[in-house]
Amino acid sequence: MPKDVDFLKIDVDSYDCEFLSEILKAGFRPKAIAIELAPAMPPPLKYMLHYSPGEGPLDSGDVGGCSLQMAVDLLKPYGYTLLQYVMEDGWFVRDEYVHLFGPIENDIVKVYDFGNPNLYCPNMWLSKEGDNMCKEMLMEFKSLRQEPAKMLQRAKEQFEYMFTFKPHLKSIKYTLTI
C-alpha cells in the first residue's frame, strides 16, 4: 500500500489518536487528514484515550477519544498544520500544501472557539442523574485558560466524579495533561 495517500479520515469514536499515532509511526503521510476529536476537552487540555488489549469498544460519549491540542501536538513533528476545527473534526494538511489555503489562523484557541461557537459537546460530562453538564464544563474550562494548572485539575476532578457513578470506566487508560 502506498505511504503517500491523498486523504485520511479517522472517526472510530474512541481511540482516534491511537490510530493516528500508529498510522504516522508506520510511515503513512496523507496529504490531508480529518480526525474526529473530543470537543469536551478545549485547548490547552491534551487528552488521549489509550487502547488496552482485551478492552471492547467504548462509547465516545463516556470518555471521548482525543483532544484538538493532542492531535495538533501529535501531527506537528510529522509536518502537519491545523487548517480548521469544525464542531468535533480537526482538518490538517501537510505543511507543503498550507500555502494553497491562503492565510489561516495559527492560534489553536481561536480555531477551537471559532469552530465550536455554541459549545457543542456530546455527553462526556454527565451528572449522576444523567444530565448533560458539558456546556457548563466547557464554559468553566474556557474561563480557566489563563490558569492552565487549574483547568487541568478541574478536568481531572471531572473524571474522578464520573468514575463514582460509572465505575466500569475506572480501568480506562488515558493521558490528560496541559
Largest CA distance in the chain: 49
Q: Please give the C-alpha separations between residue 13 and each of 59, 77, 99, in angstroms, as whole numbers.
A: 7, 24, 31
pLDDT value of position 60: 47
Q: Please give the C-alpha separations between residue 3 and each of 43, 56, 73, 114, 158, in angstroms, as whole numbers.
A: 30, 29, 21, 33, 40
Host H or E run for residue 136: helix 134-143
Q: Please give the C-alpha separations between residue 176 and each of 59, 71, 78, in angstroms, as whole numbers.
A: 18, 13, 22
pLDDT value of position 102: 96
Tens of pLDDT, residue by residue over 10-24, are: 998 889 999 999 999
Residue with cell 444523567: 130
pLDDT value of position 169: 80
Alpha carbons 30 and 50: distance in angstroms, whole number: 23
pTM: predicted TM-score of the whole model, two decimal places: 0.93
Instruction: Give which of 45, 19, 12, 36 is closest to 91, Cα–Cα.
Output: 36
Tens of pLDDT, residue by residue over 45-62, are: 999 999 877 665 555 456
pLDDT value of position 131: 81
Residue ranges covered by each domain of the chain: 7-177
Q: From first to last of the 178 residues of the chain, give the pLDDT tens digit.
A: 889 999 999 998 889 999 999 999 999 999 999 999 999 999 999 999 998 776 655 554 567 789 999 999 999 999 999 999 998 999 999 999 999 999 999 999 999 999 999 999 877 887 778 788 889 999 999 999 999 999 999 999 998 988 888 887 888 889 999 9
